């Protein structure tokens, strides 16, 4: 976790050694917050809670994207998660800081106070993407009321099985791809999304895009990965040749890049699983999907 911390007194800054990260001081708090709110995974304010609240107020947007924000008083008596307690991990971070400093954690989220499992926290811990965060409130309210909740854990695009269904997407799939040099990035994105949709797969379950190493700087690939927050994993022709299994083959592709198939082999290599959807040619681009056998 990329944690940034700021303090407003010498005493507050002195906690740096115990929490294990540098603690900034002497910079305007609004300027500091503006700089790190979208760069860091978490922010720690060592000082008054009111300062932290005013500092983050202009930047708060959405619980699924806002960083964790935690405040601790300069004496190290209390540590309080202020923002993104579950998805952002502020509650867990507060507990960790408390264990390092001896502070008491003050948790205010209803599910934690009542001892009811928070489905959004569970999803984050199990590396699952939340497709419809707007349903979190309704599901949590039902859980707090002791009622049955509707949660669907699947990579597949299916109809909601419950009146209110929270969809959790396990990140188990790898999209293998190939294309001509300088393929239009918008066209690649549109075609890749269409391929996933036609195969009934949620994009949120795709954890990486995979290809051959000569494509590591392909703009269509890098832009897609940047937009959808996934890594681009590339492999040498020899590494792809060494992937065991039966794959589609093209003499032209082998002559061009040194291996007869890129999309299938790269997807299997990156996923460590099995081929789920074989080579599909779409508008001059090739796609394949690999992942766990039971997907």
CB atoms within 10 A of CB 41: 15
The pLDDT of residue 154 is 85
For domain 173-291, the CATH architecture is 2-Layer Sandwich (3.30)
Domains of the chain, by residue range, sit at: 3-108, 126-169, 173-291
Are 56 and 93 in contact by the 8 Å Cβ rule? The answer is no
Cα Rg of the chain (Å, integer): 23
108 dihedral zone (left: phi>0; alpha: psi -120 to 50; beta): alpha
Q: Dump strand ranges (E) for the chain.
A: 3-7, 23-24, 42-46, 68-72, 78-83, 104-105, 128-130, 150-153, 165-170, 173-178, 206-212, 232-235, 274-282, 285-291
Q: Which residues of the chain have pLDDT under 70?
A: 110-117, 148, 294-295
Q: What is the pTM of this model?
A: 0.66
Out of 3.30.70.1400, 3.30.450.20, 3.40.640.10, 3.40.50.11220, select the CATH number for domain 3-108: 3.40.50.11220
pLDDT of 267:
97
pLDDT of residue 289: 97
Q: What is the pLDDT of residue 4?
A: 97
Buried b (16+ CB within 10 A) or exposed e, 68-94: bbbbbbbebeebbbbbbbbbbbbbbbb
pLDDT the model gives residue 103: 95
Residue 205: what pLDDT? 94
CB within 8 Å of 199: residues ≥ 6 apart: 277, 289
């Amino acid at each position: 976790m990329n944690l940034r911390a700021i303090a407003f007194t010498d005493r507050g800054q002195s906690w740096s050694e115990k929490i294990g990260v540098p603690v900034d001081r002497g910079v305007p708090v609004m300027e500091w917050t503006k700089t790190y709110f979208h760069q860091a995974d978490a922010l720690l304010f060592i000082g008054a809670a009111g300062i932290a609240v005013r500092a983050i107020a202009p930047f708060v947007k959405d619980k699924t994207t806002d960083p964790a924000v935690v405040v601790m008083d300069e004496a190290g008596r209390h540590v309080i998660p202020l923002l993104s307690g579950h998805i952002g991990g502020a509650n867990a971070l507060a507990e960790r800081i408390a264990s390092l400093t001896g502070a008491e954690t003050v948790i205010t989220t209803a599910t934690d106070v009542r001892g009811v499992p928070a489905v959004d926290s569970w999803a984050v811990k199990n590396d699952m993407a939340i497709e419809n965060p707007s349903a979190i409130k309704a599901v949590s309210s039902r859980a707090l009321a002791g009622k049955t909740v509707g949660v669907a854990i699947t990579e597949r695009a299916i109809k909601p099985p419950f009146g209110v269904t929270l969809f959790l997407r396990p990140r188990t799939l790898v999209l293998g791809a190939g294309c001509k040099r300088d393929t239009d990035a918008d066209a690649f994105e549109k075609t890749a999304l269409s391929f996933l949709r036609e195969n009934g797969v949620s994009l949120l379950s795709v954890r990486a895009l995979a290809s051959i190493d000569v494509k590591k700087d392909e703009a269509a690939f890098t832009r897609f990965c940047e937009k959808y927050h996934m890594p681009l994993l590339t492999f040498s022709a020899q590494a792809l040749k060494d992937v065991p299994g039966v794959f589609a083959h093209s003499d032209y592709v082998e002559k061009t890049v040194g291996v007869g198939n890129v999309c299938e082999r790269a997807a299997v290599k990156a996923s460590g699983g099995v081929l789920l959807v074989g080579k599909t040619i779409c508008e001059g681009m090739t796609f394949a999907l690999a992942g766990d056998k039971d997907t």
